[in-house]
Amino acid sequence: MRETIGKYRVIRELGHGAMGTVFLGEDDSIGRQVAIKTIRTDSTLGAESKARFFREAQACGALNHPNIVTIYDFGEDGDFLYLAMEYIPGEDLHKTFLSGDSSSLELLELFAQICDGLQHAHERGVIHRDIKPSNILVTKTPRGMTAKIVDFGVARTANSDLTNSGIIMGTVSYLAPEYINSGDASHLSDLFSLAVMAFEGLAGRKPFCGDSTAAVLLQILTTPAPLLTNDEMKGLNPGIQGILQQALAKNPADRFSSAEAFGMALLKAKVPGWDGQSVPREPALSADERETEPLSRPGTILEKTNKNSWLAGAAALLLVTVGGVWIYRSQNKIPSQPTPPPEVSASGPGAPISAAADIAKKVGSPVQKLPPQDVKPPDIKKLGEALLKEPPHQAMAKLRDLTKQYPDQPSAYAIYLIVLIKNQDFTEVDRVRNEAGAHGITLDQMKRAYPQLAEVLSVLSKSTDSIKDQGEASLKGDPIQAVETLRAMAQKHPEHQEIQAMYLITLVKTRKSAEFDQARASLKARGMSLEILKKAYPPLAQVLALPSLGS
């Protein structure tokens, strides 16, 4: 195993595939651990592979979102191309599916988070092209689960011509029909892949199966998406049937128009009283409009849909596996009509909503648009105040959902911040403030919408100053006693960066190197590197710079 890759020290191997290996590494200059994905230059396909790698690395490196793994650096080292990215300890979504430990509602939340990440990428012209469970990392904390999209290695930017014609990249079970037909993908292809993944997670089975690769592809092209059974529907709002049917539509124009719309629908399906009909959906464009209007809505990326119907796909499929890349050639025409699905009863606890029923009754016809309905929005302030009375863990989870369902409501963010502050979850406080800012909502707007937030912030400011004063008073006293006092304060206020810095100062001054190393490692694992702590409390930098005291 190599000792270094680029500027990174290699710690251990995390995994490997046909085209390269992933290592755990560390950037010693800032003490940050990274995952390093390497690709051997002699194993890549085509003379333009390097150009594609660097161009896509640049595009993906510009993505900055809590549900996308961050790319820090990329380059070439000897016979390797490499990407240095955020290291996420945890498991992939495939293992989450297999464990069976997550409820359907928790999985819906994860799928909605993936939609958030995809929306961010699509708005910046980046299409993933290989959405599947193994490319979603899941971390679990007392606050719940977080999904992060990884491996944009087969991603491409919209309008890029760097992908060789005729090469289909991605995992076969999750490929969209239009991608199979032409090798061209749009952001709607990513949404189809996510819908396959969502069906699999909720049902415990893939929607399109077969004994061979060709059989699976033929199912994707010709067989209408199945419905969830009554057993698979337990605990779910029946409206999820129509959501999945719309998301798995063969014709891209019949799907949700954006990841944002898909994610909002998934979140609404978590609400037991939801009517199953007020799904965000923009009207589909006519065939003529689609040819002249490649963007379905401002701010989202949609490449022009292939003018040929998905029914003009191939029945005889030649697939060659080359380093995990599928090569497809169309040879013969498939039948002009798909196999009719079985009749579906429109009654019973698992009955589909109108969109799914239309699919079952009208073979080959697009999902009909749901009529717009006037739905009276709830009183967000009253709803949030009711959640304040619930246990903190439940309140935080529900308020997080509330801000996602109603991202334009300052009072929702304000009440959520109050709960987080009272529970000293300051990392989440920063995330929520950034999320609100992304929707144009400032802290002042939150205070005006819910004045109690101003009171809580005032108390917090005084409390923080008081804690800092106590810590500095201890630093001026007996060093041995200061260690005991600041150790206890650091445990009581784990998110207080200045107190953590003071604690490290006492360990340096009393030469407790073992405890210093242990504390430093623990803080680093929680996202508080020495560099961050030095900025939060500059005296730490001064103490560490002293040759007689620094470690």
C-alpha–C-alpha distance, residues 505 and 507, integer Å = 5
| CA angle 395–399–403, rounded 5-degree value | 175
Other beta carbons within 10 Å of 49: 17
Question: At residue 190, what are phi and psi to the nearest 5 degrees?
Answer: -60, -40
40: helix, strand or coil: strand
Q: Which of 175, 223, 182, 166 is nearest to 306 (CA)?
A: 182
Per the DSSP assignment, residues forming a β-bridge with 322 are 325
Q: Spot the catalytic one: 42, 77, 101, 130.
A: 130
C-alpha–C-alpha distance, residues 381 and 369, integer Å = 32
Question: At residue 308, what are phi and psi to the nearest 5 degrees?
Answer: -75, 145
Task: Let me know if 130 is a catalytic residue.
Answer: yes
Contacts of 293 (CB under 8 A, 6+ apart): 285
Q: Which two tokens stand for residue 397?
A: 């989870």
Q: Which of 309, 171, 316, 324 is nearest to 250 (CA)?
A: 309
C-alpha separations of 130 from 156, 185, 197 in Å: 10, 10, 11
| Cβ-contact 162, 48 below 8 angstroms | yes
Residue 145 is given by DSSP the state E
Q: Which two tokens stand for residue 349?
A: 């606890």
286: helix, strand or coil: coil
Element (H, E) at 360: helix 354-361
Q: Which of 328, 295, 296, 290 is nearest to 309 (CA)?
A: 290
C-alpha–C-alpha distance, residues 192 and 173, integer Å = 11
Element (H, E) at 157: strand 156-157
Which amino acid is it at 349?
P
Q: Which burial class, exposed, middle or buried, applies to 541 when counting CB atoms under 10 A from its CB (0-12, 13-18, 19+)? A: middle
Q: Which burial class, exposed, middle or buried, applies to 440 when counting CB atoms under 10 A from its CB (0-12, 13-18, 19+)? A: exposed
Tell me which long-range contacts 537-544 makes (C-beta under 8 A, separation of at least 24).
537/497, 537/498, 537/501, 537/502, 539/501, 539/505, 540/501, 540/502, 540/504, 540/505, 543/505, 543/508, 543/509, 544/508
Q: Which two tokens stand for residue 85?
A: 């990215």
Q: Taking the mean position of all CA atoms in its chain, how far away is CA 254?
A: 24
C-alpha–C-alpha distance, residues 172 and 220, integer Å = 9
Other beta carbons within 10 Å of 97: 18
Which residue numbers are catalytic?
130
